[in-house]
Structure 1
């Protein structure tokens, strides 16, 4: 097995579809949402007072900043999917081109990087989540089975100076390599 997709165990009997290409020459495999969920518009969240204060160069207390940060963060859409690949490969999760234009949805970190050692990790079995922000005016309902992102397998290269001395074994799920 070189590379591919599997359904994580907690979604085994939930009738999910593994990612697929929609045209013969598509580079990306479409990922679907594993659940129904609502992604609220950022404009409805409680951070507009902070933006007003920033624009008008007013002092902002730490409590208000903390409240604004708590609501202005991406939502994680579960896919119920994990990906296996060769050690020298990465799965890039990218936004679907229609999401910003048609639905006001964006991936705030630009792309997601799924490393080969994320597969079957101890934290979440390697389930892939898609980070989404809704910068549109209206809340967006994501239904189970809606295509939300695309994944592209790619090889990567190592720098000449990379001796692996700072690399550790992954211990955990989403965001665990940055700890």
Structure 2
């Protein structure tokens, strides 16, 4: 059986195909297809980016854990704070492993107490302010107007703080 299509039928099918393409959005689209090699390159770029991000995150976490467990940053903050506290003071003496100074006619004392912290307190021992935590021992000595504070942490870190007071007069 032979089907003879007239020009009219061919024209209707052609118009129907055009309408279908237009409805599907295929008529005006000139998108190039992704080739397999382009897909692989895109996957490699995405994978590489994620690996770099993961490595940076891991490095940041290691640094954060190190700083949290390391007493070095606490030492740096303490030494700067103690130097600021001692500026403008006069040395009164050292008794019972405590440093006694006078600032603005107020007596202050610095030293480690029974616990594991180094404190600033009033001359009578009241109103203390912890300055450093995690100490296992401390030793305060004076040679003339120069004070030497040796600190040892529970982690094993040892540091020495030296401060020279101004001569009276």
| TM-score in terms of structure 2 length | 0.22
Larger radius of gyration: 2
TM-score by length of 1: 0.21
Hey, which of these two has a bigger chunk of helix by percent? 2
Structure of higher RCO (CA pairs closer than 8 Å, 6+ residues apart): 1
